[in-house]
């Protein structure tokens, strides 16, 4: 199992954040690293899965998403860290047009905002200890926030040259080596166009039919801005909670090799979740390793920042409150993967 597909974890938005994390090198004798400053473009949601990934389940496929996002390198303080996490912050407007309700006629346009934060703590230049990802999607009644925490044990190796190794020359552009067809072209100095196909697309070749067209403006690497990022995970006492069906984070549990249910709960969630109404736990197989990739196989295939996690021999616990839900994988009471939706 090498994908990550809970009902509303936004694969599409992970495509965008990883585009923002690209590093480019100039061809001058004295190498100068560039980073993304701005992203604009469109995503054409031609498939049912791409619509559902944005929570647009009540509309027919074919909506168009317009993006205008600023990108900033960031760092943040961290109470549990040995080294300050570094990462990227995306913020800006997201407009969705061409929304056609399944049960009625006409079209709808929705305007909203998107804020995405991705932070990583490194133990050395190439080894990642912990990661945090927050996707804050403000889109009228479809608004939601997802928070993901990963602790890598052992630390995860992050390759600096993964971008170059995963693309091949294709005429005037470079093309993804494997996975969905993605082309990268320099259209003017310090501006890159990325176009091609979305994950799980059908009949898309990136030329005669494309589903994604993003233009990124590059700038020289900047000093990270220090931001306040609050994502503190707490171990909750669920002794009095009802052992009953949990639904608020969808079908994430199906990504694990779950075995029998257990009452040995190890419930983690963000602070101030409110009154916990229900809890469920399962033992996770200690024999079969299943890779879960919150950043998606699509990202790795084109050499962009990608996170993976292989849970074995632990407990998966889900809790629901009135307005939020959390899932946590832990071993001996220690949290290694936490997912929250609110």
Same domain, 241 and 191: no
Domain count, the chain: 2
Pair (223, 263) in one structural domain: no
Q: Do 294 and 215 reside in the same domain of the chain?
A: no
> How much is the pLDDT for 34?
74
Name the token pair of 10. 């936004």
Same domain, 64 and 145: yes
Task: Tell me, yes or no, whether 2 lies in a domain.
Answer: no
Nearest to 33 by CA among 188, 219, 305, 187: 219
> Which of the listed residues 204, 227, 250 is the one where a domain comes to its end?
227
Check whether residue 209 and residue 290 sit in a common domain: no
Residues recorded for the chain = 342
**CA distances in angstroms from 268 to 148, 316, 319, listed in the order given:** 12, 10, 8
Same domain? For 199 and 304 the reply is: no
- Give the span between the Cα atoms of 272 and 257, in whole angstroms: 30
pLDDT at site 308: 61
Domain shared by 249 and 218, yes or no? no
Judged against a pLDDT cut of 60, whether residue 319 lies above it is answered with: yes
Q: Are 38 and 22 in contact (CB under 8 A)?
A: no
Lowest-confidence segment of 35-44, 234-243, 287-296, 316-325 by average pLDDT: 287-296
What are φ and ψ of residue 276, in 5° steps? -80, 120
Give the angle 302-307-309 at the CA atoms, nearest 5°.
Answer: 135
For 247, the 3-state DSSP assignment is coil
Instruction: Look up the domain containing 293 and give its range.
Output: 233-341
Report residue 99's pLDDT band, with 50, 70 and 90 as the boundaries: very high
The pLDDT score that the predictor gives to residue 258 is 80
Query: Please, which pLDDT band fits residue 188 given cuts at 50, 70 and 90?
Result: confident
Domain limit, last residue, from 194, 227, 260: 227
Residue 53's pLDDT is what?
A: 65
Neighbouring CB atoms inside 10 A of 29's CB total 5
Burial class of 290 by CB neighbour count within 10 A (0 to 12, 13 to 18, 19+) = middle
- What is the residue whose two structure tokens read 């049912």? 48
**Is 246 domain-assigned?**
yes
- pTM of this prediction? 0.82
What pLDDT score does 315 carry? Answer: 92
**Does residue 281 lie in a domain region?**
yes
Instruction: Note whether 128 and 210 are same-domain residues.
Output: yes
Q: Are residues 37 and 75 in the same domain?
A: yes
Strands 225-227 and 63-76, by their bridges, are parallel
Structural domain contains residue 3: no
User: What tens digit of pLDDT does each residue of 132-161 get?
Assistant: 988 888 877 778 888 989 898 888 877 554
Bridge partners, 45 (sequence order): 63
Q: What is the mean pLDDT of residues 103-129?
A: 88
- Residue ending a domain, among 227, 255, 288, is 227
- Measured at the CA of 120, the angle between CA 119 and CA 123, to 5 degrees, comes to 155
In a domain, 1, yes or no: no
pLDDT tens track for 3-38: 333 333 344 454 555 555 555 544 443 445 677 888
* Pairing outcome for strands 242-243 and 276-284: parallel
Q: Are residues 206 and 91 in the same domain?
A: yes
- Judgement on whether residues 177 and 110 belong to the same structural domain of the protein: yes
Instruction: Report how far residue 77's alpha carbon sits from residue 204's, in angstroms, rounded to the nearest whole number.
Output: 43
Q: Are residues 237 and 213 in the same domain?
A: no
């Amino acid at each position: 199992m090498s994908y990550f597909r809970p009902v509303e974890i936004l694969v599409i938005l992970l495509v965008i954040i990883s585009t923002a994390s690209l590093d480019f090198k100039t061809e001058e004798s004295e190498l100068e690293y560039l980073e993304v400053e701005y992203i604009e473009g469109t995503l054409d949601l031609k498939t049912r899965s791409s619509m559902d990934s944005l929570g647009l389940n009540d509309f027919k496929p074919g909506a168009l998403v317009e993006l205008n996002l600023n990108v900033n390198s960031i760092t943040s303080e961290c109470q549990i860290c040995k080294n300050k996490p570094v990462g990227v912050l995306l913020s800006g407007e997201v407009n969705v047009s061409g929304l056609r309700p399944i049960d009625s006629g006409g079209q709808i346009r929705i305007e909203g905002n998107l804020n995405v934060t991705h932070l990583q703590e490194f133990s050395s230049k190439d080894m990642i200890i912990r990661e945090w990802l927050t996707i804050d999607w403000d889109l009228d009644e479809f608004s939601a926030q997802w928070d993901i925490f990963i602790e890598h044990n052992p630390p995860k190796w992050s390759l600096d040259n993964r971008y170059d190794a995963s693309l091949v020359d294709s005429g005037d552009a470079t093309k993804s080596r494997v996975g969905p067809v993605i082309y990268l072209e320099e259209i003017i100095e310090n501006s890159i166009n990325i176009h091609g196909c979305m994950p799980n697309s059908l009949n898309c070749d990136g030329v005669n039919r494309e589903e994604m067209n993003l233009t990124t403006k590059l700038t020289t690497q900047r000093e990270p801005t220090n931001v306040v990022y609050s994502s503190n995970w707490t171990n909750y006492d669920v002794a009095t909670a009802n052992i009953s069906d949990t639904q608020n984070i969808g079908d994430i549990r199906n990504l694990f090799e779950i075995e029998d249910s257990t009452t040995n709960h190890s419930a983690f969630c963000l602070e101030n979740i409110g009154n916990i109404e229900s809890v469920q736990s399962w033992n996770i197989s200690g024999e079969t390793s299943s890779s879960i990739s919150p950043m998606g196989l699509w990202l790795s295939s084109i050499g962009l920042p990608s996170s993976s996690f292989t849970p074995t021999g632990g407990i998966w616990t889900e809790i629901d409150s009135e307005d939020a839900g959390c899932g946590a994988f832990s071993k001996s009471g220690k949290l290694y993967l936490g997912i929250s939706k609110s």
